[in-house]
Chains A and B, each alone.
Chain A
Amino acid sequence: MEPKAIFDLLKSRFGGDILEIQEEGISPPFAVVSPEKLPEIARFLRDEPGLSFDSLMCLSGVDYKERFAVAYHLHSLKETHRIGVKVYLPKENPSVQSVDAVWPAANFMERETYDLYGIVFEGSIDLRRILLPEDWEGHPLRKDYKYPEFYHGIKV
């Protein structure tokens, strides 16, 4: 299916929760959805025959200067189409529902996003820091991140 058709299907099903379609200069195009409805939309995308997005290609956090975003790139092995789904999150206490019940591949990538951005994924089966030490302070990939002077007495 063409991305336009997929987005139309999504809009007809979820109406106002599909906030925006980003297509200009963006490949694959994104459907911006509201964070509260994300698990439902994810489940719909995976289970609906004709869509069957069974593969989560990539889950990334992004720091747009005024707000955070989590971008999901989805792919269907059966139908061979791809789209992206994005949720925008506020800068204070960014949090969104986890999708690792829908795509188990999300687990490590969500942990990484939590580790480097501080975005909390509620309902995740295991949300701990993954790349940085457990007692690291701060979330490095944020645009306003300040490097600490010392870590356990070692000059950083």
Chain B
Amino acid sequence: MKSHAEALPTQEMLINMGPQHPSTHGVLRVILRTDGEVVVNARPDVGYLHRALEKIGERVTYAQYMPFTDRLDYLASMNCNAAWAWTVEKLAGIEVPERAEYIRVIVCELNRIASHLIAFGSFTADMGAFTPFLYAIRERERINDLFEEVCGNRLTYNYVRIGGVSADLPEGLLDKTTEFLDYFEPKIPEYNNLISYNKIFVHRLANVAVISPEEAVAYGLTGPNLRGSGVPFDLRKDEPYSVYPKLEFDVCVGTGERGTVGDCFDRYMVRINEMKESVKILRQAIAQIPDGPVQAKVPRVFKPAAGEVYFRAENPRGETGIYLISDGTVNPYRLKIRAPSFVTMNIFEKITKGLMISDIVAVIGSFDIILPEIDR
């Protein structure tokens, strides 16, 4: 019998998990070579959404570049805006008023919750549970309504400005945010009951694509992906910027509670727990926010001194770094965006060897990548 099976010639299948696919979170193409259901090699092919954002940065002014950062990671638009603002302020040495910093932190954390909700919803939808996605969208709609009051937009906000924010928060927005937080906080245990600890869900994710802490650091994983592997590194705590030193929260780390440390389930649970922490941060920020101006005096024709700076912020998907070179003119000289999802894809080919096709979907979902960031 054994020799019979060995003599049976099997061929590898070359399947294209093409740019249009319901669960690749954007236009990601994965070239799969499979032996039946088991993946032999899965190569990602990116670049379908390349819009030359870095080249455009060399043509427009610093202030004009803000809307382009919206489109980097459109689910965490406020975070990308703020990262750009903080980079330019570090380069030019601009002092931002405290109220503006608090507002930035508030909108960034709200956006973090919204982004993690989408990550949670689309991940569970990929796993076949269609309902949590709609619950996540329902919560996110409320956040979108808050943002609409703040800046008029529901997705790409362009709210943060170099030196502050574009306008003060409207009357009553902080109360509405507190209302939202009171409504949202009991929802997280509800999601855990519904899907997070569901036996089928856990079985799909536990021990799938385990990434050890050393591998995670060496391959450049950041954010929830790095923390899911057990490395307690959070830029908001370890390299604090803005008003994060004044806020208290815990760093969520993967503990291998249902499998091994660093598997897909851990990365998923880190995001769920981070939503809880964001609620904590928001409550503190709303309590601490001072009065004052929301915009520093930045000259109309803004020419920062020549220099080079690298700044990184903790975005929902990881560490967004911007390497900015200025030569003293109104346009940046060189603008390099280190997108977290781009660097995360480094490990994709290695980690998917030997998994099944269904697991590829789980891995992409647990990394929470977003294509505009990868392709810029």
Check A-B contact in the complex, CB < 8 A: yes
What is A's interface to B at a CB cutoff of 8 Å? 22, 24-28, 30, 54-58, 60, 62-63, 71, 73, 77, 80, 84, 103-105, 107-109, 112, 116, 129-133, 140-141
Name the CB-closest residue of B to A84: B310
B302 at the A/B interface (Cβ < 8 Å)?
Answer: no
Bound Cα distance from A57 to B309, whole angstroms: 13
Would you call B342 and A58 a contact (CB within 8 A)?
no
Would you call B310 and A25 a contact (CB within 8 A)?
no
11 A-B contacts (beta carbon < 8 Å): A27-B308, A60-B336, A63-B334, A77-B231, A103-B218, A103-B220, A108-B342, A109-B338, A131-B375, A131-B376, A141-B54
Bound Cα distance from A80 to B238, whole angstroms: 8
Among B219, B238, B308, B309, find the residue whose CB has the most chain A CB atoms closer than 10 A: B308
Bound Cα distance from A112 to B374, whole angstroms: 11
B345 at the A/B interface (Cβ < 8 Å)?
Answer: yes
Bound Cα distance from A94 to B68, whole angstroms: 30
What is B's interface to A at a CB cutoff of 8 Å? 46-47, 50, 52, 54-55, 90, 217-220, 231, 233, 238-239, 305-310, 312, 319, 321, 323, 325, 334, 336, 338, 342-343, 345-347, 375-376
Bound Cα distance from A60 to B310, whole angstroms: 11
Bound Cα distance from A104 to B214, whole angstroms: 11
Residues of A within 8 A of B376 (CB): 131
Name the CB-closest residue of A to B319: A57
Would you call A105 and B307 a contact (CB within 8 A)?
no
Name the CB-closest residue of B to A102: B218
Would you call A27 and B218 a contact (CB within 8 A)?
no
Taking A58-B310, A108-B345, A131-B47 as contacts, is the C-beta distance between A27 and B90 under 8 angstroms?
A: yes
Residues of B within 8 A of A60 (CB): 323, 334, 336, 338
Count, A-B residue pairs, CB within 8 A: 88
Would you call B217 and A77 a contact (CB within 8 A)?
yes
Q: Which of B306, B310, B346, B375 contacts A105 (CB under 8 A)?
A: B346
Residues of A within 8 A of B239 (CB): 80
Bound Cα distance from A129 to B148, whole angstroms: 40
Q: Which of B47, B321, B338 contacts A132 (CB under 8 A)?
A: B47
Bound Cα distance from A112 to B346, whole angstroms: 12
Would you call A26 and B46 a contact (CB within 8 A)?
no
Mostly, the A contact residues are mixed
CB distance from A66 to the nearest CB of B (A): 13
Would you call A55 and B238 a contact (CB within 8 A)?
no
Bound Cα distance from A60 to B239, whole angstroms: 22
Bound Cα distance from A55 to B216, whole angstroms: 10
Would you call A133 and B47 a contact (CB within 8 A)?
yes
Taking A105-B219, A108-B345 as contacts, is the C-beta distance between A57 and B305 under 8 angstroms?
A: no
Would you call A109 and B334 a contact (CB within 8 A)?
no
Q: Which of A27, A103, A131 contacts B46 (CB under 8 A)?
A: A131
Which 9 pairs across A and B sit closest by C-beta, in order of nearness? Answer: A105-B220, A25-B307, A60-B336, A131-B47, A58-B338, A131-B50, A26-B308, A27-B309, A104-B219
Residues of B within 8 A of A108 (CB): 342-343, 345-346
Residues of B within 8 A of A109 (CB): 338, 342-343
Bound Cα distance from A22 to B347, whole angstroms: 33
Residues of B within 8 A of A24 (CB): 307
Would you call A140 and B46 a contact (CB within 8 A)?
no
Would you call B233 and A77 a contact (CB within 8 A)?
yes
Bound Cα distance from A57 to B376, whole angstroms: 18
Residues of B within 8 A of A116 (CB): 54
Bound Cα distance from A108 to B348, whole angstroms: 11
CB distance from B328 to the nearest CB of A (A): 10
Bound Cα distance from A141 to B376, whole angstroms: 13
Bound Cα distance from A84 to B311, whole angstroms: 12
Bound Cα distance from A121 to B152, whole angstroms: 46
CB distance from B333 to the nearest CB of A (A): 8
CB distance from A43 to the nearest CB of B (A): 13
CB distance from A29 to the nearest CB of B (A): 9
Bound Cα distance from A27 to B312, whole angstroms: 12
Name the CB-closest residue of A to B348: A108
Bound Cα distance from A25 to B47, whole angstroms: 34
Would you call A104 and B233 a contact (CB within 8 A)?
no
Would you call A62 and B217 a contact (CB within 8 A)?
no
Would you call A57 and B334 a contact (CB within 8 A)?
no
Would you call B52 and A26 a contact (CB within 8 A)?
no
Name the CB-closest residue of A to B305: A25
Would you call A105 and B54 a contact (CB within 8 A)?
no
Would you call B321 and A58 a contact (CB within 8 A)?
yes
Residues of A within 8 A of B55 (CB): 140-141
Name the CB-closest residue of B to A27: B309
Q: Which of A22, A54, A63, A105 contacts B343 (CB under 8 A)?
A: A105
Residues of A within 8 A of B336 (CB): 58, 60, 62
Name the CB-closest residue of A to B308: A26
Name the CB-closest residue of A to B326: A25
